[in-house]
Amino acid sequence: MIGRISCALAMLMALSVGATDGPPISEADGKKILEAITEIQSGTPERGVAIYRELADRGVPQAQYNLGSLYFRGKGGVKQDFKQALHWYRKAASNGVLEAQFRVGLLYFDGLGIDRNLEEACRWFETATANGHSGAAFNLGFIHERRRDYAKAAHYYRIAAEKGNPDGQNNLGVLYLRGLGVLVDKREALRLFRHAAAQGYAQAQCNLGLMYANGEGTERNLAAARLHLKRAAAQGHRVAIAALEELER
């Protein structure tokens, strides 16, 4: 049986010191941000943080985001402080930095720097989704799936999937396979698993291998099943490893 991914919503994305989205900034402020990055990377983080703080206080969104990231990580000469991270992420988010909108949602979801508030997390994920963030769309799908509102889950997974998000592709495929929130369509499930598997996504590789092994949505093909299961197994996927052992008996 193909199981749904049990993905915890956590800080999965690497924190960056250079937000690339958001409104344009002046050439002078851009040079200042590059100066701050150079100072932090060259071993004089206090100077870099001071530059970020000056720009952030002046309302430069990318500096607000970068300062929030330093506080979240406890890097650049500052102690880890989720409240400060949330403070600066929220300012950057309100100023149009897409990744900051997503991060504020994650902080509310995980209760970091503030009491856990799922509705507020969803509000920020909605904002980020509306502005094109596929990870936020996936998270909304995941939340609605946990609530067993499968139609809404499928809606948000589809948004994520259409943007090439492998989590969304895989989870939408599972909904099509099981007929949750959508009509059963095993060929569509297979198509979605293929897209996610092509990105190296182990759960989708396993799901794809199991579909070939069982002849679901396609003719039974043990060679294809072994190929995809081996790819998932190489990443340590336990179900894929067990399935391979079963095929070899």
Tell me the pLDDT tens digit for each residue of 13-62.
223 334 446 778 899 999 999 999 999 999 889 999 999 999 999 999 99
Where exactly are the structural domains of the chain? 27-131, 135-247
Residue 9 confidence class, pLDDT cut points 50, 70, 90:
very low
Give the Cα-Cα-Cα angle 107, 47, 28 (nearest 5 degrees): 85
Q: Where do we find the tokens 């294809």?
A: 224
**Worst-scoring range by mean pLDDT, 1-5, 26-30, 50-54, 117-121?**
1-5
Question: What pLDDT is recorded for position 11?
Answer: 30
Question: Percent of the chain at pLDDT above 90?
Answer: 86
Domains 27-131 and 135-247 share a fold: yes
pTM listed for this prediction: 0.87
229 band by pLDDT with thresholds 50, 70 and 90: very high
Given a cut of 90, whether residue 165 has pLDDT beyond it is yes
Q: Which residue has the higher pLDDT, 1 or 160?
A: 160
Which CATH number fits the domain 27-131, given the four candidates 3.40.190.80, 3.40.50.300, 1.25.40.10, 3.20.20.140? 1.25.40.10
Integer CA distances (angstroms), 53 to 33, 61, 67, 114, 163, in order: 11, 11, 7, 22, 34
pLDDT at 23: 79
Does the domain spanning 135-247 belong to CATH 3.40.50.1980? no
Across the chain, mean pLDDT equals: 91
Give me the pLDDT at residue 97, please: 96
* Structure tokens that stand for 87 in this block: 């403070």
Percent of the chain whose pLDDT exceeds 70: 92
Task: Burial-class residue 5 by CB neighbours within 10 Å (0-12, 13-18, 19+).
Answer: middle
Here the tokens at position 46 are: 């206090």
Find out whether 129 and 156 touch, Cβ atoms under 8 Å: yes
pLDDT of 12 reads 29
